[in-house]
């Protein structure tokens, strides 16, 4: 899970994707942001789905997706078509995270409307209904929402993936009541953000309950978690990466040992053995898939280490 708004060019994003693909990782996700953070503001940023289209042609095996695309950035019908197009370009390797958006600053900078959270969740619910409906309903399907309407729909080609109803729709967050209901209604995967094993157990119980309330098999929803990653083969290499991590995120004056110890409690962090033990605890909590959030995106040597955690 990469954060290209930290100033990465397309060529740097592609280098990370190819390193991940060559290392044998299952998927590469990128954030969908226009403001640069964490770290210095004002760095170059790229559009998520434009770069994913490029990666679709410049990679061959690795799955690709966004975590997550704010509903404020994307008109649902256009977004459904955009995803279908990139999915075709990739040969059926696309996954899509959708969310309500949260970063007011990037909206303000680009003149993108940023309504209150409740309104954004209303928009997200309508957008999910439209994207899912355009992909799965027949010609002539209609939808009437408070913000968007679909009349006499025609959507071709449908985005196809072997063994799936459509490109996986991922909803991420804490798994509160409204999000849990949206997951149960539309999503193929729930991604717990800022995850810990204890939070995962609680959040997944809420997702299970929401599915059961709607008569859906909870086993149809993949349970994933996103957590920071900082790993190395030795303690010395780990300390070096930690220093570069502090500099990259604009915390160069922070006490390194205190910063490290605080993140050991919630990140997949440490030498390979230490980090693998952390992954084991996530698996015991029911996590089926982990997105390792990489804040050192130019450090391709660390990317190449990640498959060894599983081994």
Per residue in 178-229, pLDDT (tens digit) is 999 999 999 999 999 988 898 999 999 999 999 999 999 999 999 999 999 9
In sequence order, the 6+-apart residues with CB closer than 8 A to the CB of 200 are 192, 223, 225, 282, 285, 286, 287
Q: Which helix (H) or strand (E) holds 269?
A: strand 268-271
How would you classify the pairing of strands 289-293 and 268-271?
Answer: unpaired
- One digit per residue, pLDDT tens: the chain, 311 residues? 999 999 999 999 999 999 999 999 999 999 999 999 888 888 999 999 999 999 999 999 999 999 999 999 999 999 999 999 999 999 999 999 999 999 999 999 999 999 999 999 999 999 999 999 999 999 999 999 999 999 999 999 999 999 999 999 999 999 899 999 999 999 999 999 988 898 999 999 999 999 999 999 999 999 999 999 999 999 999 989 988 888 887 666 666 667 767 777 789 999 999 999 999 999 999 999 999 999 998 999 999 999 998 77
Helix/strand/coil for 31: coil
- Residues 6+ positions from 259 with CB-CB distance below 8 Å: 242, 246, 251
- The CA R_g of the chain, rounded to the nearest whole Å, is 19
What is the Cβ-side half-sphere exposure of residue 270, based on CA atoms within 13 angstroms? Answer: 17
Helices then strands, each counted (H, E), the chain: 11, 10
Candidates 3.20.20.30, 3.40.718.10, 3.10.129.10, 3.30.565.10; CATH matching 4-310: 3.20.20.30
CB count in 10 Å sphere of residue 62: 19
Cβ neighbours of 161 (radius 10 Å): 17
């Amino acid at each position: 899970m990469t954060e290209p708004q930290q100033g990465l060019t397309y060529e740097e994003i592609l280098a990370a994707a190819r390193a991940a693909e060559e290392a044998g990782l299952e998927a590469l996700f990128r954030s969908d942001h226009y403001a640069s953070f964490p770290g210095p503001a004002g760095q170059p940023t790229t559009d998520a789905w434009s770069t994913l289209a490029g990666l679709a042609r410049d990679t061959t095996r690795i799955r690709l997706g966004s975590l997550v695309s704010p509903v404020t950035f994307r008109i649902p019908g256009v977004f459904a078509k955009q995803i279908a197009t990139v999915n075709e370009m990739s040969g059926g390797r696309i996954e899509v995270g959708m969310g309500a958006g949260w970063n007011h600053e990037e909206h303000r900078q680009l003149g993108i409307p940023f309504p209150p959270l409740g309104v954004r969740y209303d928009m997200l619910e309508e957008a999910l209904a439209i994207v899912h409906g355009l992909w799965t309903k027949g010609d002539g399907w209609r939808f009437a929402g408070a913000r968007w309407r679909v009349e006499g729909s025609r959507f071709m080609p449908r985005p196809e993936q072997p063994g799936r109803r459509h490109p996986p729709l991922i909803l991420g967050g804490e798994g509160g009541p409204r999000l849990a209901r949206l997951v149960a209604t539309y999503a193929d995967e729930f991604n717990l953000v800022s995850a810990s094993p204890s939070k995962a157990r609680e959040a997944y119980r809420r997702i299970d309950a929401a599915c059961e309330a709607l008569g859906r098999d909870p086993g149809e929803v993949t349970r994933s978690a996103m957590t920071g990653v900082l790993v190395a083969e030795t303690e010395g290499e780990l300390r070096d990466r930690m220093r570069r991590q502090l500099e990259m995120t604009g915390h160069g004056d922070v006490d390194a040992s205190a910063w490290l110890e605080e993140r050991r409690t919630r990140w997949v962090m440490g030498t390979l053995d230490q980090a693998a033990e952390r992954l084991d605890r996530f698996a015991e909590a029911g996590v089926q898939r982990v997105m390792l959030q990489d804040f050192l995106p130019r450090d391709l040597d660390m990317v190449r280490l990640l498959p060894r955690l599983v081994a």
